[in-house]
Amino acid sequence: MLELVKAGGWPMIPLLLLSAVGLAIIVERFWALRRSAVLPPGLGEEVRAWAARGRLDSAHIDSLRRNSPLGALLAAALDVRNRPREEVRERVEDVGRHIAHRMERFLNALGTIAGAGPLLGLFGTVVGMIQMFLGVMDHGVGDVNQLAGGIGKALVCAAAGMIVAVPALIFHRYFRARIDGYIVDMEHEAIQLMDVIDPRARRAAAAVAAFSQADGQAD
């Protein structure tokens, strides 16, 4: 591997730096976007139980906000729980956009690495070809080592650019898809919580329960 890096020459330096940055971003995003960290299991049910029992003091809500991205979204709904449902929905959407932006941290950089890798590889290829042609001008076509060195640098840089770009592109798409899935799940949890804290929804649920009970007694 070290010999290949040496064969690529100085254009390999920015490619190696990009690969190191890309690897660091991938590891960090894997850790930050763990499902247990974004959507703690059972949190939505626990918060709905709080809301149903009326146990909603500021300390509970602040603790929930610091818990996780899902907790921050549910806390935003609870902050305005006494307002009309449309205002609650608007607050949830606003906070959701900020949460999504935080979850997408460093993904633009990872996408830039995926786009810049092939270009830097192409740059190294051009440098290698220039070196080869300059060698031909100075020594003629009889110096096989000079020609091989230029061609080798061109091929190594091109391959290195693709090696850097392909994983960066794959993980960039993967993390985007994971975040989109989290957002859908968080919206579902927020809607369920709004149904619990909405007075009209509670009255409708109570009416349905009373009707079902009365119907059961009539049978």
- pLDDT of 3 above 70: no
Residue 100: burial class (beta carbons within 10 Å; 0-12, 13-18, 19+)? middle
**pLDDT above 70: percentage of residues in the chain:** 78
Q: What is the mean pLDDT of the chain?
A: 82
Give the range among 80-84, 97-101, 203-207 with minimum mean pLDDT: 203-207
pLDDT at 204: 47
Strand blocks (E) in 149-208: none
**Highest mean pLDDT range out of 54-68, 75-89, 96-110?**
96-110
Token digits of residue 144: 């096989």
Helix, strand, coil percentages, rounded to 5, for the chain: 85, 0, 15
Looking at residues 163-175, what average pLDDT do you find?
Answer: 94
Looking at residues 33-56, what average pLDDT do you find?
Answer: 88
What CA–CA distance (Å, rounded) separates 77 from 74? Answer: 5
- CB 92 within 8 Å of CB 73: yes
Amino acid, single-letter form, for residue 138: D
Looking at residues 101-119, what average pLDDT do you find?
Answer: 93
Give the range among 80-94, 148-162, 205-219 with minimum mean pLDDT: 205-219
pLDDT at 52: 82
Q: Which residues have C-beta within 8 Å of that of residue 175, sequence separation ≥ 6?
A: 29, 33, 107, 110
- pLDDT of 189 above 90: yes
What CA–CA distance (Å, rounded) separates 128 from 171? Answer: 30
Token digits of residue 54: 């009326």
